[in-house]
Structure 1
Amino acid sequence: MAVWNLGSINIDNVYRVSHLPAPGETLHAADYTQGLGGKGANMSVAIARAAARVTHIGAVGPAGSWTVERLLEYGVDTGHIATLGDQATGHANISVAEDGENQIVVFSGANKSITEDMVGAALSDAAAGDILVMQNETNCQKYAAKIAKALGLQVVYAAAPFDADAVAKVLPYTDLLVLNEVEAGQLMAVMKKELSELGVPSIVVTLGSEGSKWLDVSAGSETHMPAIPVTTVDTTGAGDTFTGYLVAGLDRGMPMLQALALATQAGALMVTRQGTADVIPDLKDIEDARLA
């Protein structure tokens, strides 16, 4: 089968700092790097490195051509990424502290200028049983989800960054919802419902150092997947890596618990590395690391 990712593409400006700045505080960075990022791009790279076929649906500005080339190098189908001459490529300024925690400011740029025609043209090549994955860093999510359901695709929605209006519009079309513990709390507060009452048949909540939990709402069951203990260097992109590997595993026909175990290994290895899309592990990395 195949995965279609309506997702952001960002240029990541990463600053290494001693600690995350407090309000009004000025810090001198010890190091600076620039690389490929954005939740969408991170997930596409993770899906490709997990040995699944993925087509990215997105947009960049003229200065972002190198990000498209980088995605292609990593095995992502870039045929449905548009270059918009009147838009800046999305970018993120990321501060990473010595303890691995991060602080991120994002400018959406071209990511929020995707048209319904772009989405429709891409999904016209999709087949029943394929997977559509989305995040909240682009526009057209509801349109894409509606088209995907009509075509018989499974819709996986990573509800980050959290936006109550965006989530409410996409939930009726969602087959698998992925969110972290904070986002889960925000969603329940806004919807005034428990997760099991949202009408989504399958929900995965990541719990940081506690692992993750899978709510099989259709079966009325909840399963905890423990985390793998590692030394954290940088948490940036770890959630996207987890989601990408989860989606790839499901696309390759794995049962949910097997896909979750693979995603947990990928996420654990990712936090031991500095960077975002450019350092997402592949299957051989995971096998060599022998995480358990």
Structure 2
Amino acid sequence: MGDGVAIYNLGSINIDHLYQVDHLPKPGETLASQGYHVGLGGKGANQSIAAALAGAQVHHIGAVGADGGWCKSRLSDAGVNTDHIATVATATGHANICVDPEGENLIILYSGANADISDAQVKDALRGSGSGDHLLLQNETTLTYEAAQMARAAGVFVIYSAAPFDASRAIAMLPVIDLLAVNEVEAEQLSAALGTAVETIEVPHLVITRGAKGAIWRDRQTGAEHQAPAFRVDPVDTTGAGDCFIGNVVAALDQGQDIDTALRRASAAAAIQVTREGTSSAMPRSDDVDDFLATRP
């Protein structure tokens, strides 16, 4: 995990429809929203933008429909290489997001073009990857397993965010990844599905994000454990906080930072991001993180 040259991200691209509500809707309830905003989202796009704004060279592998040209432009504007984003016949994926006054959210996803990424497209994108590079994966696109196999064969370090969580898919991914990223709930769900303790999940590296309790990185090979406390802030919108965290972790690793530094910078980035409205549009730049950390001992 030394001085990598690039991050490749096989990731979703969604059009986010964000509704501000006074409480999250209950079954059968019709609820008026106090505000509405359209923006770029998707776990993949969020992570790519987070990593690019953190100073990394990022190549996004994905797909949009004819309605998604502005999504590619937004990624490009953030510094992401979009050469491997295809335009397909299917509509761009989208998410309907409700956010309450405490910043909690409820999300409904439509995969759309994210399910139309081709094997040839992934092969072409990863052809130039090698040792020192990183591949980011999430559960909102097809071909995650195949991409991980290709990347691993080239010596690329593979990071997999097991979200939206699917136990069978996460279990299938474990043999072909280097770092598994989950939140506390996902870690317990995976542990239950495997019938084993979280600490003994068979993956070289495990990162668990724990909200206000911070994050923990476990190195199964050495037994080392790295902890990063969360920074206390008043959240406005927690949507995309996990993506912000992982994007910044990988960007720091790709730039040769050690694990403790990567976790601290990622915690700071996520703390900044949740104080802003939106998802990808709320991702902080590297100098924002520098300024934030300068005020924290």
Aligned to 1:78: 82
**Match of 2:155?**
152
Write the deviation string for residues 58-87 of structure 1: whole angstroms up to 9, x where unpaired. 0011101110011001100000000002x0
- Counterpart amino acid of residue 113 in structure 1: D
> In the aligned structure 1, how far is the partner of 2:266 from the partner of 2:149?
27
**Matched residue type, 2:10:** L
Spell out the pairing of 1:8-157 with structure 2 (5 A cutoff).
8-85=12-89, 87-157=90-160
8 Å contact from structure 2 (residues 268, 292) kept in 1: no
Q: CA deviation at 1:127?
A: 2.2
- Amino acid corresponding to residue 222 of structure 1 in structure 2: E
Q: Gaps (5+ residues) in structure 2?
A: none
Structure 2: how far apart are the matches of 1:279 and 1:210?
A: 22
Instruction: Show the 5 A alignment for 1:213-232.
Output: 213-232=216-235
1:288 Cα deviation from its structure 2 partner: 2.9
- Aligned residue for 1:275, secondary structure, equals coil
SS in 2 for 1:214: strand
Match of 2:280?
277
Offset at residue 194 of structure 1 (A): 2.2
Runs of at least 4 residues of structure 1 off by over 6 A?
none
Alignment-mate amino acid for residue 229 of structure 2: P
Alignment of 1:143-292 (within 5 A): 143-290=146-293, 292=296
Separation in 1 of the partners of 2:202 and 2:292?
Answer: 38
CA apart distance, 1:289: 3.2
Matched position secondary structure for 1:51: coil
Whole-angstrom CA distance in 2 between matches of 1:186 and 1:107? 23
Q: CA deviation at 1:167?
A: 1.1
- Describe the superposition over 1:230-257 as per-residue Cα deviations: whole angstroms up to 9, x where unpaired: 0011100111000000000000011111
Cα distance in 1 for residues equivalent to 2:283 and 2:69: 21
1:5 partner SS: strand
CA contact (8 A) 2:227 2:260 kept: no
Partners of 2:169 and 2:117 lie apart in 1 by: 15
- Number of residues paired by the alignment? 291
Counterpart Cα distance in 2 of 1:181 and 1:221:
19
Deviation, structure 1 residue 8: 0.1
2:15 is matched by which residue type in structure 1? I
The Cα offsets for residues 128-152 of structure 1, whole Å up to 9 and x where unpaired, read as 2210110000010110000001001
What is the alpha-carbon distance in structure 2 between the residues aligned to residue 150 and residue 111 of structure 1?
24
* TM-score normalised by length of structure 2: 0.96
- Unmatched 5+ stretches in structure 1: none
Moved more, 124-133 or 146-155: 124-133
Secondary structure, counterpart of 1:162 in structure 2:
coil
Quote the Cα distance in structure 1 between the aligned partners of 2:21 and 2:201. Answer: 40
